[in-house]
Structure 1
Amino acid sequence: SIFTGACGIVNAVGNFVEKHYVLETLPAKMVTRGNFSVTSILRKCIGMELSKIAMPIVFNEPLSFLQRLSEYMEHTHLIHRACALSDSIERMQVVAAFAVSAVASQWERTGKPFNPLLGETFELTREEDGYRLISEQVSHHPPVSAFHAESLKQEFAFHGSVYPKLTFWGKSVEAQPRGTMTLELLKHKEAYTWSNPMCCVHNVIIGKIWIEQYGTVEIVNHSTGEKCVLNFKPGGMFGKELHKVEGHIQDSGKKKCRMIYGKWTECMYSVEPKVYEAHKKSKKAGADSKKLKEVSEHSCDGENTVQDTVTVIPGSALLWRISPRPHHSAQMYNFTSFAVTLNELEPGMERLLAPTDCRQRPDIRAMESGDLDTASAEKERLEEKQRAARRKRSKDEKKWSTRWFQLGVNPHTGVEDWLYMGEYFDRNFADCPNIY
């Protein structure tokens, strides 16, 4: 095997626990798209929602969208840091950094994840990071994915449901990530909610593909009334604002307490509002705005270097820095080190996973191994099996029943949401549907 160093154990309660997830590569390099005409496929799709269009498998990456959702957890250390802080404003700025980090893995990820089959699941237990996660595809039309992550020490819960809308606009694909993220810090009896920014993939037909996130993200602490407003800036005509994120934290009286700035592709900082405003005025006055390469001694994680593209305001605190990617990431669909590990199946793991877990999807596994013909045939077979099952339910006048989540009301927002019912990790999979 060319997998290096990933290992696992089965703990006392029968859970497979991934330890030291240090996979370095995928079984095969990224498949080439050079022989496929994007134009011929997409020219009839302008203005249409792509989830309703069958796309050739060559445009995919070998992960399910459920696995993409689990990448929110790559920077779980930020949640642990927030749990340990006693001041609510300090907690808010770290939660804001976590919200930004949740979209960081999308940088240069131009492959489309596989659409989950109805009833598909994905579980992830990372004992050394102190959490476990379960997700389920709870609806197919419209496509809705629900997830629930929880601390192994009952310190936090992070959950949400996402129903993205992908639209092709001729030169770009726009992703509207509808749905709400909810983070509960149980020790502090706090709940934070927010929605992710818009995402756009440019130059999908010709030119160098690039990705931007844009829009306003509001993070609300429902316990204190404090709010963080983040502005993900569009690149603009000359790209000067590309990847930039700026915003502020305000207390319940709407007074600004901290300013937040950085790039979602690199790092995020916070600074006092007076210092931030003074810095802006000095730049406007023509003062030297040379990029500084020293981080404040108050940096939160002890890092001593920064990316050159972010100008660091003196007195700023470093909240988060993106994890470096594998040196050969470009040959692996631009996966992060975290994403590389998501399909690994250790010996004995299959009998512990739900039969609906997307690690066991034959089309994804074939694509990961570079076998496009098998992947395409399996994808078509699975989709037809799903259609046949839907026709049978319609004929029998039966409704689809979700297994691990149920539709309810988010207690913090009062809005309809998919809520985890529990019991997945009891591993009673007898009633799981046969979707593969």
Structure 2
Amino acid sequence: GLALLLFFRHNEAYTWTNPTCCVHNIIVGKLWIEQYGNMEITNHKTGDKCVLNFKPCGLFGKELHKVEGYIQDKSKKKLCALYGKWTECLYSVDPATFDAFKKNDKKNTEEKKHSKQVSLLVSASEESDEMPMPDSESVCVIPGSVLLWRIAPRPPNSAQMYNFTSFAMVLNEIDKDMESVIPKTDCRLRPDIRAMENGEIDLASEEKKRLEEKQRAARKNRSRSEEDWRTRWFHQGPNPHNGAQDWLYSGSYWDRNYSNLPDIY
């Protein structure tokens, strides 16, 4: 899978792989997202590794959004267990406590299965692709657990802002002071996005079409002059930690020397 790289000020470098992301009902119905599969996070300084399993939804949605796994050292000794839901919260607990809880939970689940009638099962072909309702109990907190993260509540105007979180809302925010220190190619200056955020949908559509035509013309002109397109602040090369092909920082962005930038908007 795709490996991503992150550096921390403690001179630690992390790479991680993403689980599979499945978007349901893109064409018809209520859109919802499911993450499933394994995610592996490696600390290349210490050799510690976190292996997380994102649970598939299943027929009745019992495992919807659930994630669990372990952090282990380079000798594969489990240091702690992690569990929760990627849409709600994440907890840490001693691995022995977690394993005992899982064993007991599995035993209880199997007993419930035997007591249920087979007629309750519905064939997957008859089921719609509606998002299953999550468990009412949500995340069952194991005694001795430490809360690592909990999702912040959505802002009151989230419904009017494409259901964005507060963080997502400010990603494209811009003010006059900021405009003087960012390059003119910064995506926050894209006129079609600015128009869309201001609710001017027709203008946003027109601007998007204009930008696409401008990009095609620029590409055509480059091919005529045999000029190669070069990315300015990143280049492709081997990741120094795992050898995978990656985008590596070329430097100079923070010098704020933004001369000779192409006119892309």
Tell me the TM-score normalised to structure 1 length.
Answer: 0.52
In structure 2, distance between residues paired with 1:403 and 1:280: 50
Matched, 1:202 2:31: no
2:240 matched residue in structure 1: 411
Shift of 1:224: 2.3
2:160 matched residue in structure 1: 331
1:220 matched residue in structure 2: 42
Pairing 1:187-336 to 2, within 5 Å after superposition: 187=10, 189-286=11-108, 309-336=138-165
Shift of 1:285: 4.0
Report the CA distance shift for 1:314/1:343 in structure 2 as closer, same or farther (over 3 A).
Answer: same
1:351 matched residue in structure 2: 180
Pairing 1:5-404 to 2, within 5 Å after superposition: 179-187=2-10, 189-286=11-108, 309-404=138-233
Could you say which structure has the greater relative contact order, defined with CA pairs below 8 angstroms and 6 or more residues apart? 1
Cα-to-partner distance string for 1:143-201 (whole Å, 9 max, x where unaligned): xxxxxxxxxxxxxxxxxxxxxxxxxxxxxxxxxxx6322222343x3221102222121
Which one of 237, 252, 264 corresponds to residue 423 of structure 1?
252
1:173 matched residue in structure 2: none
Cα-to-partner distance string for 1:1-44 (whole Å, 9 max, x where unaligned): xxxxxxxxxxxxxxxxxxxxxxxxxxxxxxxxxxxxxxxxxxxx
CA contact (8 A) 1:270 1:319 kept: yes
In structure 2, distance between residues paired with 1:345 and 1:274: 49
Q: Which amino acid aligns with 1:204?
A: I
Name stretches of at least 5 consecutive residues in structure 1 with no aligned partner: 1-177, 288-306
Shift of 1:353: 1.7
In structure 1, distance between residues paired with 2:100 and 2:217: 64
Cα-to-partner distance string for 1:97-132 (whole Å, 9 max, x where unaligned): xxxxxxxxxxxxxxxxxxxxxxxxxxxxxxxxxxxx
Q: Which amino acid aligns with 2:14?
A: Y
In structure 1, distance between residues paired with 2:154 and 2:29: 24
In structure 1, distance between residues paired with 2:55 and 2:141: 18
In structure 2, distance between residues paired with 1:407 and 1:284: 47
Shift of 1:413: 1.1
Secondary structure of the residue aligned to 1:282 is helix
Q: Which amino acid aligns with 2:100?
A: A
Secondary structure of the residue aligned to 1:365 is helix
Secondary structure of the residue aligned to 1:349 is helix
In structure 2, distance between residues paired with 1:349 and 1:277: 50
Higher-helix-fraction structure: 2
Shift of 1:312: 0.5
Shift of 1:308: 5.0
Q: Which amino acid aligns with 1:369?
A: N
State the identity %. Answer: 63
Aligned residues: 239
In structure 1, distance between residues paired with 2:171 and 2:80: 36
Name stretches of at least 5 consecutive residues in structure 2 with no aligned partner: 110-135
Which protein has the larger Cα radius of gyration, Structure 1 or Structure 2?
2
In structure 1, distance between residues paired with 2:177 and 2:106: 62
Shift of 1:314: 0.5
Secondary structure of the residue aligned to 1:260 is strand
Q: Which amino acid aligns with 1:327?
A: P
CA contact (8 A) 1:403 1:432 kept: no
2:132 matched residue in structure 1: none
Of residues 357-366 and 194-203 in structure 1, the stretch that sits farther from structure 2 once superposed is: 194-203
In structure 1, distance between residues paired with 2:6 and 2:174: 29
In structure 2, distance between residues paired with 1:281 and 1:212: 26
Q: Which amino acid aligns with 1:180?
A: A
In structure 1, distance between residues paired with 2:7 and 2:179: 31
Shift of 1:311: 0.5
2:122 matched residue in structure 1: none
Shift of 1:409: 2.0
